[in-house]
Structure 1
């Protein structure tokens, strides 16, 4: 990337220098040769004004000192040199000047300028000035050398700027590539930083948005897996224990065991549906869930949790306000939240577990408490991963999500002894 950007910049500078330097070199050459011709013409004119009208009658002429490297001479109309230096017989350039106009020509390595001398509107002679083109070419080459030095300096500066610009453009893209590779390697916390280049910043923003969404989806998938594992483990263990007990106990009521297993399987099916529903729309209130009465909710909870608590020598006490016995509650959601709270009391609490259903007017309150005490700060209690024991800290976070999906709220209302309160809106 860097080499490509630098190469493009260098080629552009070379083309620009060529388009500028070549015409400028031609102009310099033309200017210096024209300047030398002008100087020769001024010397010839200076000599011409010294020629008297009697020059044609043989009056001698004293020419000014000419160029040290050139010739300055005067010729009569017979094209013979009468004074100064130069060829004894006039050349073609001098002959053209007899017509009355200044003549110039580059010939034989010389610059020649011929100026006519007039008297009474008649040409009486011609002043010829010449110099070698070697000196002019030296000036041209010196100017070309200065032009080349300036071009090389400009090329060097352009090369440094091109390398700097290449680094400025390539570095953010390289950093974005490293960030993308980090994400591909599993680091979902990697984010592309802004660099100040609008187009690259837009790509970085789109990349970060994509990673954020990907992170959210993966986190959602992980939470679904842990939620499903957490919610299915206890019912499956209870189902397996019930079937094993029925098989190993002589004279056991197999029909009752099958009916209990069937009820457990229905509950497992409801658990799967509820976890799937939460995974599809974790923040949307579940307004279309099937309902059950408050009395039925507590009856089902007692069937599931009386046995496990009794095995540990603990009691399950249920208190139901008669005014809300027939009040409808979201069946699957309320079952799942109540299971989580009872499992939490079973694992981390002690003593009698008490479930109370109260009427609060516009909402129903379900209190789940035990005789234990809370060791975690209430501010972190509902965060995923917070746990006071061997658990993974999933249950209360999941219960909070489930409560929100049903339009309710789960709070810790007492820490010594522990009591959680679930608030659910009353059915219309």
Structure 2
């Protein structure tokens, strides 16, 4: 790219110099010859003053000095040289001037101007002034050489400026290319930096915006896979255990309770899939909107799902509600998913009695999930993806916080010892 920019710039400057220097050289040549003719004419006119009426009688004439390297002579009407320097006989230019008009032109290798000498309104002689054409051409060539030197200097300056400008243009473009190559190689953290050139800065911003959106899409795709595997694992495990329990029942036993429980598990599994899909959609209000229902129903379903697993681990589950919270409605599926994650977390990593407390908090609903264990990680580190101190994946709490924020709420650590998580949701009274 640099060489191309330099070539274009130099070609443009070269065309401009040719278009300027060519006519200037022609005009300079003509100007030198016109100036020389004018100087010869002035010299000849000055010499005519020295030629008086006595010239026809044969008196001597004292002429002024001729042009350097030139000749100056006076001819009578018979074209004989009477004074000064020049050919013994007058040439064509001299004869033309004898007709009464100034003659300008060339005669052999000389540039000649012949001026008639007039006395009493008649021509009595001719003054001829000449210089070698070679001397004029020497000055023309010197001027052309100077013009050529200036042109070459301008061209060299243009090359230097073009190289500098090419570097100024190519360095940001090369940086953009390197950034694009890094992104194509998988480094989605690479970002283009501004360079001060408006068009390239706009291109860099567009590229960065594209990478940001691509990163978000890839993160959503990756998070969807991990969220789905994490969220579906518990629901599928419960469904499988229920079906295995029904399979182990004796022949003739009433399977309807087991079927109802399996259907409830399947319904919960369907809600889990929908919630994970909703979380992976773009962040718009319409996409995030979920059906609302009474909080007490959500809590009852969560208690029915987790009472058995906690009891099997030798632990109790207590549900405590403050007066006035029974009529609050919340995003049902989202709240159920968050409670599932928190209760699964306390089953895997906590100990002792698990207490779910519902209370009103300045017009919102606060749900505390606590056990008798202690958090080994900090209040923020515990929500980082992949952050875990046990055998878990470190995904659940991160998903729970994302679900809470998607519903317009907030999930935080209220206490590290005993371990207490608080889910704050914008609830409305039904």
- Who is 1:204 aligned against? 204
Range with bigger deviation, 123-132 or 62-71: 62-71
Deviation at 1:346, TM superposition (A): 1.1
Range with bigger deviation, 39-48 or 158-167: 39-48
TM-score (norm 1): 0.91
- Who is 1:25 aligned against? 25
Deviation at 1:325, TM superposition (A): 4.5
- Who is 1:381 aligned against? 382
- 1:289 paired with 2:291, answer yes
Deviation at 1:242, TM superposition (A): 3.3
Aligned in 2, Cα 1:119/1:338: closer, same or farther, shift over 3 Å?
A: same
Deviation at 1:179, TM superposition (A): 1.6
Runs of 4+ in 1 over 6 A off after TM superposition: none
Deviation at 1:162, TM superposition (A): 1.2
- Who is 1:273 aligned against? 274
DSSP-derived class of the 1:191 partner:
coil
1:147-176, Cα deviation, whole Å (9 max, x unpaired) = 111101101101111121122122222221
- 1:36 paired with 2:6, answer no
Range with bigger deviation, 5-14 or 301-310: 301-310
Aligned in 2, Cα 1:24/1:365: closer, same or farther, shift over 3 Å?
A: closer
Aligned in 2, Cα 1:80/1:334: closer, same or farther, shift over 3 Å?
A: same
Conserved? CA contact 1:220–1:279, under 8 Å:
yes
- Who is 2:396 aligned against? 395
Conserved? CA contact 1:246–1:253, under 8 Å:
no
Range with bigger deviation, 357-366 or 370-379: 357-366
Aligned in 2, Cα 1:77/1:261: closer, same or farther, shift over 3 Å?
A: same
How many angstroms apart in 1 are the aligned matches of 2:13 and 2:188? Answer: 43
- Who is 1:115 aligned against? 115
How many angstroms apart in 1 are the aligned matches of 2:283 and 2:312? Answer: 35
How many angstroms apart in 2 are the aligned matches of 1:333 and 1:65? Answer: 115
How many angstroms apart in 2 are the aligned matches of 1:398 and 1:177? Answer: 37
- 1:404 paired with 2:414, answer no
- 1:124 paired with 2:109, answer no
Aligned in 2, Cα 1:89/1:375: closer, same or farther, shift over 3 Å?
A: same
Aligned in 2, Cα 1:14/1:322: closer, same or farther, shift over 3 Å?
A: closer
How many angstroms apart in 1 are the aligned matches of 2:269 and 2:147? Answer: 89
Cα RMSD (Å) of the superposition?
2.5
Aligned in 2, Cα 1:358/1:54: closer, same or farther, shift over 3 Å?
A: closer
Deviation at 1:50, TM superposition (A): 2.4
DSSP-derived class of the 1:381 partner:
helix
How many angstroms apart in 1 are the aligned matches of 2:361 and 2:134? Answer: 114
- Who is 1:420 aligned against? 421
Conserved? CA contact 2:74–2:82, under 8 Å:
yes
1:97-143, Cα deviation, whole Å (9 max, x unpaired) = 12333211123221111122222232211111222211111111111
- Who is 2:161 aligned against? 161
Aligned in 2, Cα 1:348/1:124: closer, same or farther, shift over 3 Å?
A: same
Aligned in 2, Cα 1:282/1:375: closer, same or farther, shift over 3 Å?
A: farther
- Who is 2:143 aligned against? 143
How many angstroms apart in 2 are the aligned matches of 1:232 and 1:147? Answer: 85
Gaps of 5+ in 1: none
- Who is 2:319 aligned against? 318
Gaps of 5+ in 2: none
Conserved? CA contact 1:314–1:352, under 8 Å:
yes
How many angstroms apart in 2 are the aligned matches of 1:335 and 1:422? Answer: 11
Range with bigger deviation, 210-219 or 38-47: 38-47
DSSP-derived class of the 2:131 partner:
strand
TM-score (norm 2): 0.91
Conserved? CA contact 1:97–1:103, under 8 Å:
yes
Range with bigger deviation, 415-424 or 56-65: 56-65
Deviation at 1:68, TM superposition (A): 6.0
The count of residues paired between Structure 1 and Structure 2 equals: 427
Conserved? CA contact 2:327–2:429, under 8 Å:
no
